[in-house]
Amino acid sequence: MRYVRIWRVLALTLALALLWIGQDGPAHAQGRKVLVIAIGADQTGLDPLLGGNNESGFIQSTIFDGLVMFKPGSSQIGPGLAESWAVSPDGLVYTFRLRRGVKFHDGTPMNARTVAEDIDRAINPRNPCFVLARRSVNTYIAATYGTVQAGSAAKVDALDDYTLQFTLATPNAVFLTNLAMRQLGIVSSAATKKYDCDPSQNPVGTGPFRFVEAVRNDHVTVEANPDYWGGRPKIDRIIFRVVPESSTRLLMLQRNEVQILADVPPSDSERIRTTPGLKLVAQPGLTVMGVVMSADAGPFRDARVRRALNYAVDKDTINKTLYGGATTASQIMPPVSWGHNSTIKPYPYDPPKAKALLADAGYPNGFATELSVFAEPRGWNPIGGAKIGEAVQAYLAKVGIDAKIVQYEFGAYYQRLRFTPWEGMAIVGWSGDNGDPDNFITPLFGWDDATNKPRPTNYGRLYNATLVQLIREGRETSIQARRVQVNQVRATRANVKGFLLNPTQMFFHMELVSLE
C-alpha cells in the first residue's frame, strides 16, 4: 500500500508537470498550438496612436481592431467594430453602427462611448491623456481626425450606445481607409487610464489575440481571445521572436523553431523555395526605398545637387545584385498603387551628367557628407541598411562625393531623422498603410499646418507651397480619376495554413491561421 501511494504521488507530480508544459511550453505540448514568428527588430511601443516601427505594427495588428478593417489579403475596406456606416452627401458626416456584445480584453464593453473616449485622447488637448502632449510622435491623427491646433479637428459624438458619428471640418477622401490602419486601432480607455495614459507596453484591444508579455529584445507573446467577435482563433498563442540576423532566422525556420519569417532577403528566396517543408509567400507590395537628402541643409539645398546624385548611382545594378531584380523606382508611388504614373521613367545612370550638375552648383570637386544607415532588416529593405549604404557610397565616390557611413540602431535612427535637424543623406523607405496614394504623398512630402513644420516622416524636410496645396486638394476630393515592383516576401513552414499576406505588411486576420 505504501508503494501504491508513492506511485500515485509520482503520477500526480508527472501530470502536473505535463500540465505546466502545456501552458507555456512548445507547440506540441498538450495539443496547444503555438505559432512563432521571427521578426528582425524589437517593437518600439504597442499603443497604435503612437505609431511605432513595422515590428510594433505586426504585433498591434493582432491585438487591435479598427472601426473598419481591411478584407483578408487586401487593402479593400470591410466591416470591423462597425457593422455598417453611412456618409453624408457633402462628405463631412460619417455615421457608424457598432457591433453589439463586443468587449475589450480587460472586460470593458466596446460601445460608442468607450470608442469615443479613446478617440478623444487623439484630438482633444484638454484630455489628460492627450497623445500629442506626451512626446514627439509620428501619428496619423492629423491626416485622419485633423487637429485643434490647425482648426481642423473632427467632432466625435456617441449618439446612442451603438451609434458613433464623426463630423469633419473638411472632406477627407482617405478617412475610411485610414480608420482601417493598425495606427487607428481602438484601445480600451479604461486600460489607458489604468496605465497612467501610457498603454504602450500593456496594450488592450478587442482583437483576435490579447497581450501576454513583452521581454525586451527577445520576444512578445499574445494569446487567443476566446471571445473574439470574429470567431476564436485557430491557434492558441503567437510568439514574435526578435532575431536580427537573417541567416539565424532561416536556420530557425528550417529547424521548425519558428514557423514564419517576417522579412526574407532576396538571397534566401531560392533556398527557401527549394527546401522541403518550407514555403515562399509573395505578393506585390506597397513599399518603396531610396536615399533621402536634407533639402534644407548643406549642399542638398540646391536641387542641382539632388539631381546629380540621382544620376550618380546605378540603381538598376543595385536592384539586380542586392535585391534579386526589384523594380527601379521612378517616383514615390510603387507600381502596384493606382496612383502610380507609368509615363514617368527613372533617372538613368549617367556619371558625366552628375559631375556637370555638381560643377554647375559650385562643387566641381565634390564634397564630404554623411550617409546614415541602420543594421536591422525592414519590410521595404530585407537586407538591412548597411549593404545598400556601401553600394551607394561606392558610386558617389566616382563623382567626387565622400560619403562617410554612420550606422545607428533602428529606433535611434528614425528618432534622429524625424525629430532632429540632421544634415546629409540617409537610407529610408516606406510601407503603405492603407493602399491609398495619399498614404505615400502626405507622410513623405507633407507639411504640418498646425506647427508650420514638415511632418516627421518628411525626412528631407522638403517644402514647396504648390505641392502642399496639391496634396491638400487631393485629400479633399473623393473622385479617384482626379486623384490620379517590389514584392512583399515572407516564408513559412509548409504546415502553416490560412496565412494571407496583406499589402500593408501587417499581420491582419491571424485568427484564420492554423498549424497542421
The residue whose grid cell reads 506626451 is 134
The Cα-based distances of 337 to 247, 440, 500, 503 in angstroms read: 32, 10, 19, 10
Region 421-443: mean pLDDT is: 82
Interatomic CA distance for residues 396 and 313, integer angstroms = 7
Cα–Cα nearest to 483, from 173, 175, 141: 173
Is pLDDT larger for residue 143 or for residue 513? 513
pLDDT single digits (tens) 168-192: 999 988 899 899 999 999 999 999 9
Domain that holds residue 417: 287-431+438-483
Instruction: Output the pLDDT for position 487.
Output: 61
Residue 276 domain flag: no
Say if 327 falls within a structural domain. yes
The number of distinct structural domains making up the chain is: 1
Helices marked H in 37-77 — which ranges? Answer: 54-63
pLDDT of residue 327: 82
Q: For residue 434, how far is the Cα from the chain centroid?
A: 10
Determine which of 73-77, 160-164, 355-359 has the lowest per-residue pLDDT on average: 73-77
User: How far is 356 from 108, CA to CA, in rounded Å?
Assistant: 65
Please give the pLDDT value at position 5.
Answer: 40
The answer to whether residue 302 scores a pLDDT higher than 60 is yes
* Half-sphere exposure (Cβ direction) of 87: Cα atoms closer than 13 Å: 12
Tell me the percentage of the chain whose pLDDT exceeds 90: 55
Distance between CA atoms of residues 507 and 516, nearest Å = 19
CA distances to 64, 130, 292, 325, 426 from 312, rounded to whole Å, are 45, 46, 14, 20, 16
Phi, psi of 185 (to 5 degrees): -60, 145
Q: How confident is the model at residue 281 (pLDDT cuts 50, 70, 90)?
A: confident
Indicate if the pLDDT at residue 195 is higher than 90.
Answer: yes
In a domain, 470, yes or no: yes
Q: Answer whether residue 137 shows pLDDT above 80.
A: no
Least confident of 203-217, 250-264, 363-377, 432-446: 432-446
Type of residue at 303: A
User: Is the per-residue pLDDT at 259 higher than 80?
Assistant: yes
Over its C-alpha atoms, the chain yields an Rg (Å, rounded) of 25
Predicted confidence at residue 297, as pLDDT, reads 94
Taking the C-alpha atoms of residue 279 and residue 275, their distance in angstroms, rounded to an integer, is 8
For residue 134, what pLDDT is reported? Answer: 64
d(CA 469, CA 445): 11
Element (H, E) at 488: strand 487-493
User: Rounded mean pLDDT of 396-407?
Assistant: 96
β partners of residue 87: 94
pLDDT at 16: 29
**CATH code of residue 372:** 3.10.105.10
Q: What band does 440 get if pLDDT is binned at 50, 70 and 90? A: confident
Higher pLDDT pick, 333 / 169:
169
Report how far apart, in Å, the C-alpha atoms of 152 and of each of 38, 142, 144, 145, 170 are. Answer: 41, 8, 10, 8, 7
Q: 0.85 cut: is pTM over it?
A: no
Distance CA 371, CA 401 (A): 11
Question: Given this model, what pLDDT does residue 503 score?
Answer: 73
Q: How far apart are CA 462 and CA 297, in angstroms?
A: 10
Cα–Cα distance, 194 to 181 (Å, whole number): 25
pLDDT value at 219 more than 80: yes
- Asked if residue 284 has pLDDT above 70, the reply is no
**What pLDDT is attached to residue 138?**
63
d(CA 495, CA 209): 21
Could you tell me the pLDDT band of residue 433, with boundaries at 50, 70 and 90?
low
Q: Which residue has the higher pLDDT, 479 or 356?
A: 356
Type of residue numbered 447: W
- Specify the pLDDT at position 496: 94
Do residues 203 and 44 make contact, with C-beta atoms less than 8 angstroms apart? Answer: no
Mean pLDDT of 487-512: 86
Does 295 reside within a domain?
yes
**Residues 168, 94: Cα–Cα separation, whole Å:** 8
Residue 357 lies in a domain: yes
pLDDT at 287 exceeding the cut of 90: no
Confidence class for position 482, pLDDT limits 50, 70, 90: very low
The better pLDDT of the pair 377, 271 is held by: 271
Instruction: Answer whether 190's CB lies under 8 Å from 106's CB.
Output: yes
Does 99 score more than 90 pLDDT?
Answer: yes
Average pLDDT of the chain is 86
Sorted by sequence, the CB contacts under 8 Å of residue 154 that are 6+ apart come out as 123, 145, 146, 166, 167, 168, 169
Helix (H, G, I), strand (E, B) or coil at 89: coil
pLDDT higher than 50, residue 27: no
Identify each DSSP E strand in 353-473 by its residue range. Answer: 367-374, 401-408, 425-431, 447-448, 453-454
pLDDT range class, residue 135, cuts 50, 70, 90: low
pLDDT greater than 50 at residue 485: no
Terminal alpha carbon distance of the chain: 45
Residue reference for cell 532561416: 250
Residue range 488-514: mean pLDDT, rounded: 88
Does residue 41 fall inside a structural domain? Answer: no
CA distance 357 to 336: 33
Instruction: Between 342 and 308, name the one with better pLDDT.
Output: 308
Q: What is the DSSP letter of 497?
A: E
At residue 357, does pLDDT exceed 80? yes
CA–CA dist 195, 67 (Å, integer): 23
Residue 427 lies in a domain: yes
Mean pLDDT of 329-350: 82
Please report which confidence band the pLDDT of residue 435 belongs to, taking 50, 70 and 90 as the band edges: low
Q: Is 55 in contact with 40 (CB distance < 8 Å)?
A: yes
d(CA 469, CA 176): 22
Average pLDDT of 63-87? 93
Q: Which run of H or E residues covers position 87? A: strand 82-87
Instruction: Mark 295-310 as b/e (b = at least 16 C-beta within 10 Å).
Output: beebbbebeebbbbbb
Amino acid symbol at 396: L
Distance CA 81, CA 308 (A): 50
Question: Going by C-beta distance under 8 Å and a sequence separation of 6 or more, which residues neighbour residue 357?
Answer: 304, 305, 307, 308, 311
Give the range with max mean pLDDT: 28-37, 60-69, 368-377.
Answer: 60-69
| Rounded-to-integer distance, Cα 66 and Cα 483, Å | 25
List phi, psi (to 5°) of 460: -85, -5
pLDDT at res. 7: 34
Q: Strand 425-431 to strand 401-408: parallel, antiparallel, or no bridges (unpaired)?
A: unpaired
- Give strand pairing partners of 289: 429
> 73 — alpha (psi -120 to 50), left (phi > 0) or beta?
left
Most trustworthy range by pLDDT among 219-228, 261-270, 442-451: 219-228
The residue that leads in pLDDT, 11 or 486, is 486
**Does residue 25 register a pLDDT over 70?**
no
**pLDDT for residue 441:** 81
- pLDDT, residue 4, reads 38
Residue 446: name the closest of 415, 413, 418, 414 by CA: 418
